[in-house]
Amino acid sequence: MSRAWLIGAGPGDVELLTLKAVRTLAQADVVLVDDLVNPEVLQFARDDAQIVHVGKRGGQVSTPQPDIVAQMLDHLRAGRSVARLKGGDPFVFGRGGEEQQALQAAGIAVEIVGGITAGIAAPAAIGIPVTHRDHAQGVIFVTGHGAGEHEADWAALAATRMTLVIYMGMRRLNDIADALLAAGMPPDTPCAAIESATRPEQRHVRASLRELAQHVADAGLGSPAIVVIGGVASLGVS
């Protein structure tokens, strides 16, 4: 009988893949892979597995989500087991919830194999804990990708005084910083941006909220990257 898995591939470093992800990946007939997945992860797929690259990186050409679901269903109905391999964790800005709903609506059970999300791993890679008793009683994961009616309520987020971890926010970093400053967040709030976290090409910058966008631009940092805003960003390595 065919089976379906949504598997988190972790933040980049292949050694951060979970044992369960390795085991389940080795069972799949077909593996649908996102761009952000480290290609080294595919060493754990079967030699005869069909590997399908489906994109899904912000700002770049990607396979439409309905097409990905349709491919999964076609393979599953043909009796093939399917692994949907996503960067980080499939349920953290990975659209895994949508894919689970689509499969369940088609009467197909799906197993979720969690992964380490970049929102925790990227800060940790430079020594930043997303929570700390002296700096933040909690952490909020938020996408910076939205605009217009999909824009995050930055004023409400600033008022929480919790660590903000922003995914997909590099292209709108100026707008995000301006919105937080307008909401009253102190201009000297510590911040960090980490590109390609846990990979050999990892780079980062640290700056105050007021200067973050300029420092990121000067360093030429781009996506994929995680932005951390809050007192915890003053901790760790320089």
Instruction: Give the confidence band of 238 by pLDDT, cuts at 50, 70, 90.
Output: confident
Please tell me which residue, 138 or 150, carries the higher pLDDT value.
138
Mean pLDDT of all residues in 143-164: 90
pLDDT of residue 178: 97
pLDDT of residue 163: 98
The active-site residue out of 29, 34, 72, 86 is: 34
Percent of the chain with pLDDT strictly greater than 70: 96
pLDDT of residue 58: 54
Cβ neighbours for 57, distance < 8 A, ≥ 6 positions apart:
34, 35, 36, 223, 224
The active-site residue out of 56, 72, 162, 185 is: 56
CATH class of 4-113: alpha beta
Mean pLDDT of all residues in 62-74: 91
The active-site residue out of 72, 89, 162, 168 is: 168
**Per-residue pLDDT at 217 exceeds 60:** yes
pLDDT of residue 145: 85
Mean pLDDT of all residues in 1-9: 91
Domain limits, the chain: 4-113, 118-234
> Residue 193 burial by CB count (10 A; 0-12/13-18/19+): exposed, middle or buried?
buried
Instruction: Give the confidence band of 59 by pLDDT, cuts at 50, 70, 90.
Output: low
**Per-residue pLDDT at 223 exceeds 80:** yes
| pLDDT 10s digits, 168-203 | 999 999 999 999 999 999 999 999 999 999 999 999
Mean pLDDT of the chain: 94
**Does the active-site annotation cover 86?**
no
Tell me the sheet residues that pair with 15: none
CA dihedral of 17, 12, 123, 146, whole degrees rounded to 10: -110
**Does the active-site annotation cover 162?**
no
pLDDT of residue 1: 58
**Does the active-site annotation cover 185?**
no
Instruction: Give the confidence band of 150 by pLDDT, cuts at 50, 70, 90.
Output: confident
Phi-psi region of 200 (alpha: psi -120 to 50; beta: other; left: phi over 0): alpha
Instruction: Give the confidence band of 237 by pLDDT, cuts at 50, 70, 90.
Output: confident
For the chain, where are the alpha helices, taking DSSP H only? 19-25, 65-77, 96-105, 118-125, 154-160, 173-182, 212-219
Q: Give the fold, CATH level 3, of 118-234.
A: 3.30.950
